Amino acid sequence: MATPHDALFKSVFGNPRHAAVHIARFLPNAVVQSLDLDLLSLRSGSFVDQNLRQRHTDLLFEAPFHHSESRAFLYLLFEHQSSSDPLMPLRLLRYMLRIWDQLLSNEPTRRTLPPIIPMVLHHGPEGWQAPVAFTELFEGPADVLHALGSYLPQFQLLLTDLSEMSDETLRVGALVEVVYRLFKHIWDHDLPAKLVSWRELLRSVAAEETTGLRALQLVIEYLVQARDDAVDALVEAMQDVHPAMQQIIETTADRLRREGHREGRLEGQAELVVRALETRNVAVPDDARARILACRDRDSIARWFDRALVVASVTDLFDEGDQA
């Protein structure tokens, strides 16, 4: 299930125009100058391990080099947990290999590979505490590892650690800057006050003729799900920005709150199904547990609960009419 951080990241940075702002801000200037970011395009698919999708979200872009038929891939991984992943360079290498494998599968006659630039965006409150270079993962005497250097994988992820950056250094396009600030400060107790102080920045986002209100709606949806206590501050900050803004905020917040309450009730009912089975000493394998807890179909959950009181095996719980 997508987290609110995941949803906002994909909604904003999944747009190549906004992704290009981020890429141009953090890549070395020589690389930026060599790439035609006006032709940046998003490729489909995710390369993250299934069991890590609650922690990592990824987007893959490609851009051609100027005056060349060659291209580069830019792999943007969002680490949306509060802690750092100690094996991030290893995970990135695995994802990069998947990208190249997919490319070679689609173009079997290819004999060269486009470079992949691994970029990680992190917003944990305590900052990044894990390795950024693949060589940091190796163990052994330092002099031996140095001698082995040319025989071992060597690359470094391009880390953007928002917690270590001042708000002043995050000044880019208005919407991207708002997203940076939200990710950086989402755990701060004084976030409501910060939102009020961002009034002019939010006004700049709203001023975009075709996308402004939709962009602010993404911000609203994120706050309702991640920091509901800050929504009133957003109303205060936005009350004089656009005639319809307060109504949009309040309507969106009310809708998401209703959906959130419904989601919470269904999640609790799904947990009762598992508890009923376990109370009767019926084994619940991990795959069945995951299916039950992920279900948000009210009728299926109700049927499962009734059956959970009588079935001898979890396989008797499901039928073809059930929704996963």
**129-168, pLDDT tens digit by residue?**
999 999 999 999 999 999 999 999 999 999 999 988 998 8
Q: What is the pLDDT of residue 265?
A: 62
Residue 192 and residue 233 in contact, taking contact as beta carbons nearer than 8 Å: yes
Contact predicate 47/60, CB 8 Å: yes
Q: Quick one: which of 161, 40, 62, 150 has its CA closest to 106?
A: 62
Pairing assessment for the beta strands 71-79 and 158-161 based on DSSP bridges: unpaired
In this structure, which amino acid lies at residue 203? R
Q: How many CA atoms lie within 13 A of 106 on its CB side?
A: 7
Higher pLDDT, 57 or 299: 57
CB-CB contact of 237 with 202 (8 Å): yes
> How many CB atoms sit inside 10 A of residue 278's CB?
13
Which pLDDT band, with edges at 50, 70 and 90, does 206 fall under?
Answer: confident
Helix (H, G, I), strand (E, B) or coil at 300: helix
Residues 243-267 have a mean pLDDT of 66
Give percent of the chain above pLDDT 90: 46
- The mean-pLDDT minimum among 117-126, 181-190, 209-218, 311-320 falls in 209-218
pTM for the predicted model, two decimal places:
0.75
Whether 35 shows a pLDDT value over 90: the answer reads yes
**CB count, 10 Å around CB of 202?**
24
Q: How far apart are CA 229 and CA 232, in angstroms?
A: 7
pLDDT band for position 113 (50/70/90)? very high
Question: Where is average pLDDT lowest: 52-56, 99-103, 197-201, 283-287?
Answer: 52-56
Residue 29: count of CB within 10 angstroms of its CB: 8
Strand blocks (E) in the chain? 41-43, 56-64, 71-79, 116-122, 158-161
Return d(Cα 224, Cα 75) in angstroms, integer.
29
| ∠ CA 270-274-277, rounded to 5° | 140
pLDDT tens-digit readout, 45-104: 999 988 787 788 999 999 999 999 999 999 999 987 777 899 999 999 999 999 999 999
Angle at 148 between CA 143 and CA 151, to 5 degrees: 165
User: CA end-to-end span of the chain, whole Å?
Assistant: 13
